[in-house]
Structure 1
Amino acid sequence: MSLRTFAPSVRVGNWNEDVSLEEDLLKDFLEKREKGELLIQKSNYLKTKILQKTELSIPKDGFLHFGEVVILLNPENREETLSNTSPVHGNVTLCVSPAESAVHSESLLEAPCGISASTNVKPHVRNAFVITSVDGSALGETLHYGQNFALRTTEGFMGHLYLTSDQKTFLKCSKKSCLQEVSLTNKPLYQTCWQIVYLDPQLRLEHEGLPVPANTKVLIVHSKTNQCLAVLRKYVLWTFFGKDYEVTAHTFLNAHKAEGNENHWILVTGNPSDDMDTMFDRPKPPSEQTEDAENKGSRYSQ
């Protein structure tokens, strides 16, 4: 009678090495989890830091001042909404879009860093910017039309990055539209200088040098290239925070030789009341609501 030497439970090959490898992988995973070094933990840490709610500045006189914290909002265009020509409706805000390398780091955000537009219009660290002086103006002084200034990210995790742009080249341009790129840098140069320009081109010269009112439609023009900051809602960018839209520096002129809706911006400030977040969320006066309703009715009748 022959003795059975092998059975299904007998391990063959490099089974001992495989078991040791699995144990080492599990041990390494548990150590990284305890230290918070897993990729999903770092991603959640980044989102927690950058989506933290922030408070906007509340100007006392209704004008913008150096050192104030604002959000840059591109308002919804009612004509595009009615004609369904825009792929995304609603308001969008200028937002910081970190690269993939930022997820692997727990330190401050590093330059260069991307910029995009998000439909999240609530004030948080990602879309808050500080109006910064570049000509020696003191904190608290009023910003004027045509005056150079810089837009800087807030204190702490954002790392003092400046909104910048430069002439487009074959190697450096926006990803989707191939227009002039807009990004963030850590060095305050002439490329980081911008100007506020009055919206109506026929009254632009008359407003040159006057204080810039907050929560009003304006143009943000790059000082070096003379191109307007713009949102391209037809170009989608996928980020860690969902679907965003491309931001570039390019002047879009309509049939009347005026800047298009892509170039319209509102520098939104905080609301002194307790039940709202920003001045943009405040209910309109009855006169403005009636006017908007009449305009909307006339467009539908046409």
Structure 2
Amino acid sequence: MAHVRTYNPRVRVGNWKEDVTLEEETLKEFTLQKDRGELTVQKEGALKHNILETVSLSVSQDGFLHFGDTVMLVNCGDGDHMQRSPCVLSIIADSSNVSSHSQTNTGPHLTGPLQVGGAHRMDPCVRNTFIIVSVDGSSDGEVVRYDQSFALKTTGGFAGELFLASDHKSFQKCARKSRLQELSLVEEFDFLCWWKVLYFDPQERLENEGYPVQVNSKVLISHCKTNQCLAALGNHILWSQFGKEYELTAHTFLDSHKAERDNNHWLFSTAHPANQSQSLLQLQQDEHRENQEDTQVKDCS
């Protein structure tokens, strides 16, 4: 029983002064971390509360994409075999990515680098909404044109205004599951964050170069440095605290006709004019679901 501690610091035997001082320092450090919001439980709570907060998408009055628009990037899935369901580009983060309070930022926010994934939740929120940013001096409100460079930035506040970036794969840096070219959200803005929109049909791509990009229509999003297109991989699954998600990468998948496959087909989803918290794609899915339910009711009757 020699290992059992018979006395506590209040008895004041042995190194009681040292024990009291250590307990006071531990309590003081705990209080400081709590005041700064550095406790793990505080970071977890801030993450769950803020990252799923509803965000209002932009409304396109003319049907085109503009610099400064807040949109969701949606992959409509595999239309032929339904082996890959629709997904949206989303942030993957945990408590270790949440910064503490500081003099420059009064509230918690995400810090890079962060992973991204293809989430199945289509409700516009901090986690899956991005802002179209100009890289060539174009002002907010100007239309984005095919083959024109731009950047994708997370919203301000908790999302931390991070940029979607990619680079050539290497042994040390590649996608976790597929080992293809990695995607990440970074704080530093440089050429690795440049992207451009390509026309959906390769036979008409040259003719549409320089024309405005339509929203809620299939397009390709190509990385300017590597010329690889944004892709969703239905056969590579990532598990996060938000559930099961598809791995996203920068890789161009071609079919037998040298055309990009549906892994690379994306659309810029904007808000419904009557409800900015609901995307047009989400409205179409709700209407399709209601029509299916009505059909099933009629068949049963």
Residue 95, structure 1, aligned to residue 90, structure 2: yes
- Tell me how far apart the structure 2 counterparts of residues 118 and 57 of structure 1 sit (CA, whole Å): 20
Contact 1:73–1:94 under 8 Å retained in 2: yes
- Tell me how far apart the structure 1 counterparts of residues 99 and 28 of structure 2 sit (CA, whole Å): 17
Contact 1:56–1:69 under 8 Å retained in 2: yes
Residue 15, structure 1, aligned to residue 10, structure 2: no
- Tell me how far apart the structure 2 counterparts of residues 115 and 170 of structure 1 sit (CA, whole Å): 20
Deviates more, 1:225-234 or 1:96-105: 96-105
Q: Match of 2:266, as an amino acid?
A: W
Deviation digits for residues 196-249 of structure 1, max 9, x if unmatched? Answer: 001111111111110001000100000110000011122121223222221110
2:248 corresponds in structure 1 to: 247
- Tell me how far apart the structure 2 counterparts of residues 127 and 255 of structure 1 sit (CA, whole Å): 33
Contact 2:253–2:260 under 8 Å retained in 1: yes
Quote the offset at 1:281 in angstroms: 2.6
- Tell me how far apart the structure 2 counterparts of residues 213 and 237 of structure 1 sit (CA, whole Å): 31
Contact 2:57–2:279 under 8 Å retained in 1: yes
Quote the offset at 1:30 in angstroms: 9.3
SS of residue matched to 1:96: strand
Deviation digits for residues 170-192 of structure 1, max 9, x if unmatched? Answer: 11111111111110112221111
Structure 1 pair 99–203 and aligned structure 2 pair: CA distance change class (3 A): same
Quote the offset at 1:283 in angstroms: 3.8
SS of residue matched to 2:80: helix
Deviation digits for residues 250-282 of structure 1, max 9, x if unmatched? Answer: 000112211111111010001112497111133
SS of residue matched to 1:131: strand
SS of residue matched to 1:203: helix
SS of residue matched to 1:277: strand
Contact 2:97–2:112 under 8 Å retained in 1: no
Structure 1 segment 228-239 matched on structure 2, within 5 A = 228-239=229-240
- Tell me how far apart the structure 1 counterparts of residues 154 and 3 of structure 2 sit (CA, whole Å): 60
Q: Which runs of 5+ in 1 are unaligned?
A: 1-10, 294-302
- Tell me how far apart the structure 1 counterparts of residues 116 and 211 of structure 2 sit (CA, whole Å): 29
- Tell me how far apart the structure 2 counterparts of residues 57 and 155 of structure 1 sit (CA, whole Å): 15
> How many residue pairs get matched?
273
Quote the offset at 1:102 in angstroms: 1.6
Structure 1 pair 30–184 and aligned structure 2 pair: CA distance change class (3 A): closer
SS of residue matched to 1:125: coil
Deviation digits for residues 75-112 of structure 1, max 9, x if unmatched? Answer: 1322122xxxx2xx431100111255225745321121
Q: Match of 1:92, as an amino acid?
A: C
TM-score normalised by L of structure 1? 0.80
Q: Which runs of 4+ in 1 moved over 3 A?
A: 17-21, 24-38, 103-107
Q: Match of 2:163, as an amino acid?
A: Y
- Tell me how far apart the structure 2 counterparts of residues 68 and 159 of structure 1 sit (CA, whole Å): 17
The CA RMSD over aligned residues, in Å, is 3.1
Q: Which runs of 5+ in 2 are unaligned?
A: 11-15, 102-107, 293-301
- Tell me how far apart the structure 2 counterparts of residues 213 and 63 of structure 1 sit (CA, whole Å): 4
Q: Match of 2:133, as an amino acid?
A: T
Q: Larger radius of gyration, structure 1 or 2?
A: 1
Quote the offset at 1:17 in angstroms: 3.9
Structure 1 segment 86-165 matched on structure 2, within 5 A = 86=83, 89-103=84-98, 105=100, 107-165=108-166
Contact 1:268–1:278 under 8 Å retained in 2: yes
Q: Match of 1:41, as an amino acid?
A: Q
- Tell me how far apart the structure 2 counterparts of residues 187 and 13 of structure 1 sit (CA, whole Å): 54
TM-score normalised by L of structure 2? 0.81
Contact 1:163–1:182 under 8 Å retained in 2: yes
Quote the offset at 1:131 in angstroms: 0.4
Contact 1:93–1:121 under 8 Å retained in 2: yes
- Tell me how far apart the structure 2 counterparts of residues 54 and 164 of structure 1 sit (CA, whole Å): 22
Quote the offset at 1:15 in angstroms: 3.1
